[in-house]
Structure 1
């Protein structure tokens, strides 16, 4: 486990976030552990959680959206898989 002082954490948050992808980071204040930084994947594994509907809805939308309306309005199975 890696231990980082609160001062060091505040000076380089990006470094702490990168390190937390590998293992939890303990953040200390005056030498005493006060917080733990870990990746969301590690947190979910630890708590047994999976992605929620909120997580899925918060995902960015696909970039291949057709805004000019040139696509057919009905779905043609033969054209798609034929």
Structure 2
């Protein structure tokens, strides 16, 4: 996974290139020579944070042939029918 680095000025001038580079690995953005920000693809961010996708996001993935989706278990939404 390649790491790309842009100065703040370069990032401002080449944001499109930085976004493309983020699809292949993290993009570090420096301020005065020191790392200040990191640009990640959403997939890399989700892997990093362990975030699960929503049902809407899972259904919207038309380009992915198969994927795993675990629906969260919902408790307490049912109640006995009132037949009286």
Q: Would the TM-score normalized by the shorter structure come out above 0.5? A: yes
TM-score, length-scaled by structure 1: 0.62
Structure 1 equivalent of residue 15 of structure 2 = 13
Structure 2 equivalent of residue 41 of structure 1 = 43
Structure 1 residues 49 and 16, CA gap change in structure 2 (3 angstroms): same
Shift of 1:28: 0.1
Looking at structure 1, the residues matched to 15 and 26 of structure 2 have their Cα atoms a distance apart, in angstroms, of 14
Looking at structure 2, the residues matched to 54 and 6 of structure 1 have their Cα atoms a distance apart, in angstroms, of 35
Q: Which runs of 5+ in 1 are unaligned?
A: 57-82
TM-score, length-scaled by structure 2: 0.61
Looking at structure 2, the residues matched to 38 and 28 of structure 1 have their Cα atoms a distance apart, in angstroms, of 15
Aligned residues: 59
SS at match of 1:49: coil
Q: Which runs of 5+ in 2 are unaligned?
A: 59-84
Equivalent positions of 1:1-82 (< 5 A) are 1-52=3-54
Q: Which runs of 4+ in 1 moved over 4 A?
A: 53-56
* The structure with more radius of gyration: 1
